[in-house]
Structure 1
Amino acid sequence: MADLMNKKEKKAGALTANMWIYALGLMGINLGIGLINSYQAEFFNKILQADLMAVAGIILAAKFISIVADFVIGNLIDRANFKAGKMRPWILFSAFPLAILTMISFVYIPFSSNAGRYVYIIFVVVLWNISMTMADIPSQGMLSLISKSSEEVNNAAGLGNTLKSIALAAPGVFVSFVCILTGSDGAVGEKEYLITSGIMAGLGLIFQLLMYFKCKEVVKSNTSAGMSFKEMFRELKNNKMLLIVFGTYILGFGRNIGLGIAVQATCILIRDGIDLSFIGMGTLYGDACSWAIGITSAISSMVTIVFNPVINKKLGEKKYFMVAGFYGFAVTLISTLIYTLSPSGGFGRSIWAIWIYQFFLGFAYGPNGYLPMVMTADIVDYQEWKTGKRTEGTQFAILSMSNKLSNALSVSLGILFIGAIGYDAAKYADVSQFGVQGSAENLQAIASYVTDGMQNKAWIVYFLLPGLCMLASSLLMFFYKIDEKTKKQMREDLAIRRAENEAAQIVEDEECSDNCAECDKECDLRASDTQEETEKPFDEALAEHFEEELKETDDSTTDSEE
C-alpha cells in the first residue's frame, strides 16, 4: 500500500484547473484587502478629515472584533453540513457583502459633525473586517481540500500566493491609471477613490464567485462538533506546531507594515515626486505614485514566489523560512545605515537607491505568504494523524486570527508611528497646493514640512522594522518539527486509516441486509466464523478501496487538467 502512495505522489504535482481557480479566487478576495490596507486610512484622514491617530485606533479595535468573528465562523464551518461542500458555501455567503462594503468604504459623505463621521467610520470598518473574515477562513481552508497530494497542495499554495501578491499591489497601479483617466494631474480625490474601489470590488466579486462555482473539494471532510473559545485557546496552546506558525505571524507583523503605510511613506520618502516621463506618465507626486515605491520589491518577490515550491522542496519549510528571515534582516540593516547616513539630496536617499534597496529586500518577502499556508495545511493532517480529528475550520480560523492580529499591528501601529513622527495627510495636502505643482516653491514648501529628520524616522518604520520582525519570527522556527520524513509517514498512515474505515463500512454494508432480523441472524453467524474467514474479505475490500481512492484522485486531477 505504501508503494501505491509513492506511485501516486510521483504522478501528482502539475498545475490543474482546480488549482488555478482556487488561486484566482484567492486573488479576488485580496484585491479588496489590498485596497483597504493601503488606502482606507488615507481616505478617512484626507477626504473625510478624520484624525489619523483616531483612525488607527478604530482599525485596531475592528481587527480585534474580527478575531472574535474568526472563532465564531471557524466553529460554524466545522459544524455545518452543506451539500456544496465544507468551505465553498461560505465563500458564496461572503462574496457580495465583501464587495459592497469595499465600495462603501470609499464613499464620500459630507458630515456636519464629528460624531456622525466617526460613527460611520466605525460602522464601515467593523463590518468590512467581519465580511473579510467570512471570506478569508474558507478561502484558506480550501487549500487542504483541493487535492490529496501534498505536492499539489504546495503547488497550489505557491500559485495562490503569487496571485495574492499581485492582488495586494494592484490597487496602487489602478489608482494611478484612474488619475490619468480622470485628468486629476496625479491628485487622488474622492472620485478617484470611488472608481478604483468599484473596479477592485467588481473584479474581486467575479473571481470569488468563480471559486465557489468551479473549484472542487477533492478531499471529503466530515462535519465536526467545533470548539468553544476555551477549547480553541486550548487547541492553540496544545498544538505546538500551530502555535509556532501563530507566533511567526505575530512576531512578523512588520513584514506587512510597508503595505499598510505605503501611501504615507511615499509622500514622505519621495517628497520631490517621481519623474516617469520616460514611460509617458510625467512626474507623479504624493499618493498617486504609492505603487512606484515598492515596484522593484514586487518584481523580486514575484521571482521568489514563482520558485517557492521548488525552493521549498529543496530546503523544506523550516530552513526556507529561516534563511529568508536572516537575509531580509541583513538587507534592511545595511540599507538603513546607507539611507540615514547619506546627505540630503544624495544618491543614497534618492528614488533610484530606494528601488535598489527594495529589489534586494523583495527576495525575502516571497515565502512569507506561502509558507504559513503550506505549514497549516500540513498541521491539519498532523493533528488528524495524532488525534484522529480533522478540523480545517478551526485550524485555519486560528491561522486567520494570527493573520488578523499581525495585520492589526502592522496597519494600526504603522499609522500610529507615522502620526507620531508628525505626518498628517490633510496638512501634507495643504502644503502640496502651494504654488504650481513641481515648481521650486512648491517643492520647497513640501520640504519645509517633510524634513530630512521625518524621512529618517519614516524609513526606520517603513524599512528597518520589517527586517527586525523577520529576524524575530525566524528564530521561532527553530522549534518547528514537521519535516519531509514526518509528512510522508503521516500521509501514508492517514490514507491507510481512511481506507480501513471505509472498507470496514463496505464489508458491513455487504454482509448485512435491510431486514433487521436477517441482519441479526447473519451477524450472529458471522461472530461464530473463524478469524481467518473474517479477515479475508476485509483485506480484499481494503486493498480494492485504497486503489479506487487513488484512481478517483487521478480522475479528478485529469478532469481538472482538461
Structure 2
Amino acid sequence: MEENIRMSTKSEIIRYAFGGLGSNIPFLLILAYLMFYLTDVVGISPIAVGGLFLIARIIDAVTDPMMGMIADQTRSKFGKFRPYVIFGAPVLGIVTIALFNVPDMSSNMQVTYIYVIYILYSLISTVVNIPYHSLTPVLSEDGNQRTTIATAKTFMSVPATLIINVMVLPMVAIFGGGQQGWTTTSIILGITLTISFWVCASSAKRHDVSAKHDDQNLKPQFSLKEQISLIGKNKPLLMIMIAMCTNLIATSAVGAIALYYFTYNLGRADLFPLQSLVAIPFTVLAFISLPYLARKIGKRNVFLYGSILAILPLLVILFTPYEFIWIIFAAAVLTTALGPFTGNIAWAMLPDCVDYAEWKTGVRGDGVVTSSLTFINKLGTALGGLLGGVLLGVSGYVANQVQSPETLQSIVIIYALLPIGGHIFTIIALKFYKLDNQFHKQIITELKERKRALRAATE
C-alpha cells in the first residue's frame, strides 16, 4: 500500500510565498535600476558596470554549489535550510541598501566600492536564496501541489514588480531625489525584504526537520564530488539550466535597458512605471492560469509556448517607428505580462529535477540541485547586464544627454533583438527536456518503494 504523500497547508504555502517577495525585491531593484543608478546618478562607466556583473558570476560558479552542499548537510534545531533564511535575510537587506549608497569619493574608489559591495551582495544572496528555493521540494511530495507552491512564490514577483517598477522612482522623488532619495528608498526596501524572508521561514518549521523527514539520515553523508555529479548526470536539469540562462539573458537585457529606452528613445520616461502598472492585471491572470496549464499541457510546454509567444511583442518593438508610441507601449506591456509563462515556470520544474537526481543516482541533494538553478539565475542576469553595459558603452552613451543615432540604435538592439535571440535558444533547449508529468509520477512511485525497502532493511 502506498504511503501517504506529505503536503503543505494553505497557510504554509501563503507564508512560504513571501520568500518570493523577499527574493524579488533586491533582484528586480538591481535588474531595473542598478545600472541606471550607477551611470546616471553616480557617474560610473556602463562598461565598468557590465564587468561588475561578470566578475561576481565567476565567484558564484564556486560558491553556489558549495552553498548547496553545505545546506544539504546542515543539521540544526532550526532545520537544514531555515537557519540560512532566518539569519541571512537582515544581512541581505543591509548589503542591498549599501548598493544604492555609493559614497562621494574619487571615481576609482567608487568603482572599487561598488565591486566589493556587489560581490558581497552576491555571496549573501547565495546564502539566503539557495536554502529558500531548496524548501520547495521539502514542503510537499505531491507534484501538483509543488506546482502550486512554485507558482505562489513566483506570483510574489507581481507585488515586487509593483513596488520596484512602479513605486521606486516616485519614492526616490518624494524622499528628496538624487542620493538622498535613493538612500531612504533602499532602507525601506531592505527592511521589507528581511521581514518577507522571516515570514517565509516560519512556513517550513513543520517540514524542515531533519530528524523526521530527512531520509538521508539513514545513509552516510556524500562528498562534494558526488553531490556535483547530481548536476552532470541530470539531463532534464541541464536542459532547464540552458533554457533558463538564455531566457534570463533575454529578460535581464529588457529589464536593464528598459528605462534607457523609455527615457532616450521614446522621450517618455513617465511611461516606464506605467507599463509595469498596466501589465500587473494580465500578469496576475497568467499566474492564476499557470497551475491549470501545467497540469493540462505540462510544465515544459508552458515554458516552450510561452517563449515562442514572448518573441512576438519584441518583434513589434523592433520594427515599429517611435511615433507609434502606444503600439510600442502595448507591446512592452505584453512582454512583461508573459513573464510567468517563461522564466517563472522553471522554478516549478526544479523540484521534479531533484526527484530525478535521487532516482538516477540514489543521492538526494535538494540544495546542490537548487544551487545550479540559482547560479544560472544570476549568470543569465549577469550576461544580459554585461552585454547591455558593453553595447551601451561602445555605442557612445553619455548620461543625461541627447544620445546619438548609433546609441539609440544600440538601445533598441539590447531591448528587443538580443532578447529574441535568447528566447530562440531557450526554445531549442526545451526540445530536449523529457521529464513530463507521467514520467515524474513513475519516479515518485519508485522512490517510495526504495525508501520502504531501505527502512525494512534497517529495522
**In 1, are the aligned partners of 2:35 and 2:49 still within 8 Å (CA)?**
yes
Question: What residue number does 2:80 align with?
Answer: 86
Instruction: Give the aligned residue type for 1:191.
Output: Q
Q: 1:179 to 1:392 in 2, by over 3 A?
A: closer
Q: Pick the aligned partner of 2:244 from 231, 249, 254.
A: 249
**In 1, are the aligned partners of 2:246 and 2:422 still within 8 Å (CA)?**
yes
Matches within 5 A, 1:301-312: 301-312=283-294
Instruction: Give the aligned residue type for 1:383.
Output: A
Question: What residue number does 2:126 align with?
Answer: 133
Matched, 1:487 2:403: no
Residue 420 of structure 1 and its aligned partner are, at CA, apart by 2.9
Deviations 1:362-404 (A, max 9, x none): 4532123332212210011112122221001110011111112
**In 2, are the aligned partners of 1:15 and 1:152 still within 8 Å (CA)?**
no
Question: What residue number does 1:46 align with?
Answer: 40
Question: What residue number does 1:459 align with?
Answer: 412
Matches within 5 A, 1:80-479: 80-111=74-105, 113-179=106-172, 181-182=174-175, 188-216=177-205, 218=207, 220-221=213-214, 222=216, 225-228=221-224, 234-252=229-247, 253-274=249-270, 290-337=272-319, 339=320, 342=321, 346-347=323-324, 350=325, 352-425=326-399, 428=400, 431=401, 449-450=402-403, 454-479=407-432
Residue 87 of structure 1 and its aligned partner are, at CA, apart by 1.1
Q: 1:302 to 1:470 in 2, by over 3 A?
A: farther
Counterpart CA distance in 2 for 1:290 and 1:193 is: 18
Counterpart CA distance in 2 for 1:51 and 1:502 is: 60
Counterpart CA distance in 1 for 2:272 and 2:109 is: 30
Q: 1:50 to 1:363 in 2, by over 3 A?
A: closer
Counterpart CA distance in 1 for 2:205 and 2:119 is: 31
Q: 1:250 to 1:226 in 2, by over 3 A?
A: farther
**In 2, are the aligned partners of 1:271 and 1:450 still within 8 Å (CA)?**
no
Instruction: Give the aligned residue type for 1:166.
Output: P
Matches within 5 A, 1:56-71: 56-71=50-65
Deviations 1:422-465 (A, max 9, x none): 3233xx1xx4xxxxxxxxxxxxxxxxx23565444322311232
Residue 94 of structure 1 and its aligned partner are, at CA, apart by 1.4
Residue 30 of structure 1 and its aligned partner are, at CA, apart by 1.7
Counterpart CA distance in 2 for 1:15 and 1:191 is: 43
Q: Pick the aligned partner of 2:452 from 467, 477, 499.
A: 499
Q: 1:386 to 1:63 in 2, by over 3 A?
A: closer
Q: Secondary structure at the match of 2:205?
A: coil
Q: 1:78 to 1:51 in 2, by over 3 A?
A: same
**In 1, are the aligned partners of 2:68 and 2:370 still within 8 Å (CA)?**
yes
User: What RMSD, in angstroms, separates the aligned Cα atoms of the two structures?
Assistant: 2.4
Residue 504 of structure 1 and its aligned partner are, at CA, apart by 4.8
Q: 1:114 to 1:358 in 2, by over 3 A?
A: closer
Counterpart CA distance in 2 for 1:266 and 1:419 is: 18
**In 1, are the aligned partners of 2:20 and 2:155 still within 8 Å (CA)?**
no
Q: 1:96 to 1:34 in 2, by over 3 A?
A: same
Residue 212 of structure 1 and its aligned partner are, at CA, apart by 2.2
Residue 190 of structure 1 and its aligned partner are, at CA, apart by 0.6
Counterpart CA distance in 2 for 1:329 and 1:193 is: 34
Deviates more, 1:65-74 or 1:396-405: 65-74
Matched, 1:20 2:22: no
**In 1, are the aligned partners of 2:227 and 2:365 still within 8 Å (CA)?**
no
**In 1, are the aligned partners of 2:46 and 2:392 still within 8 Å (CA)?**
no
**In 2, are the aligned partners of 1:88 and 1:138 still within 8 Å (CA)?**
yes
Q: Secondary structure at the match of 2:139?
A: coil
> Which runs of no fewer than 5 residues in structure 2 stay unpaired?
none
Counterpart CA distance in 1 for 2:25 and 2:65 is: 24
**In 1, are the aligned partners of 2:299 and 2:345 still within 8 Å (CA)?**
yes
**In 1, are the aligned partners of 2:264 and 2:408 still within 8 Å (CA)?**
yes
Q: 1:177 to 1:405 in 2, by over 3 A?
A: same
Counterpart CA distance in 2 for 1:336 and 1:31 is: 29
Counterpart CA distance in 1 for 2:390 and 2:284 is: 29
Counterpart CA distance in 2 for 1:295 and 1:419 is: 30
Deviations 1:161-200 (A, max 9, x none): 1102431452232223324534x5xxx4111111111111
Counterpart CA distance in 2 for 1:364 and 1:73 is: 32
Instruction: Give the aligned residue type for 2:309.
Output: Y
Counterpart CA distance in 2 for 1:354 and 1:75 is: 46
**In 2, are the aligned partners of 1:43 and 1:106 still within 8 Å (CA)?**
yes
**In 1, are the aligned partners of 2:17 and 2:156 still within 8 Å (CA)?**
yes
Counterpart CA distance in 1 for 2:330 and 2:161 is: 21
Counterpart CA distance in 2 for 1:26 and 1:488 is: 27
**In 1, are the aligned partners of 2:165 and 2:276 still within 8 Å (CA)?**
no
Counterpart CA distance in 1 for 2:53 and 2:20 is: 23
Counterpart CA distance in 2 for 1:358 and 1:468 is: 17
> Which runs of no fewer than 5 residues in structure 1 stay unpaired?
275-288, 432-448, 509-562
Q: Secondary structure at the match of 1:405?
A: helix
Counterpart CA distance in 2 for 1:15 and 1:420 is: 53
Q: Secondary structure at the match of 1:390?
A: coil
Q: 1:269 to 1:417 in 2, by over 3 A?
A: same
Q: 1:273 to 1:87 in 2, by over 3 A?
A: closer
Question: What residue number does 1:532 align with?
Answer: none
Deviations 1:134-183 (A, max 9, x none): 1110111111111121111110111111102431452232223324534x
Instruction: Give the aligned residue type for 1:483.
Output: D
Question: What residue number does 1:434 align with?
Answer: none
TM-score scaled by structure 2? 0.90
Residue 204 of structure 1 and its aligned partner are, at CA, apart by 0.5
**In 2, are the aligned partners of 1:143 and 1:157 still within 8 Å (CA)?**
yes
- Which structure ranks higher in relative contact order (CA pairs < 8 Å, sequence separation ≥ 6)? 2
**In 1, are the aligned partners of 2:317 and 2:332 still within 8 Å (CA)?**
no
**In 2, are the aligned partners of 1:50 and 1:118 still within 8 Å (CA)?**
yes
Residue 15 of structure 1 and its aligned partner are, at CA, apart by 6.6
Counterpart CA distance in 1 for 2:420 and 2:433 is: 21
Residue 293 of structure 1 and its aligned partner are, at CA, apart by 4.1
Deviates more, 1:415-424 or 1:372-381: 415-424
Deviates more, 1:494-503 or 1:466-475: 494-503
Counterpart CA distance in 2 for 1:309 and 1:299 is: 17
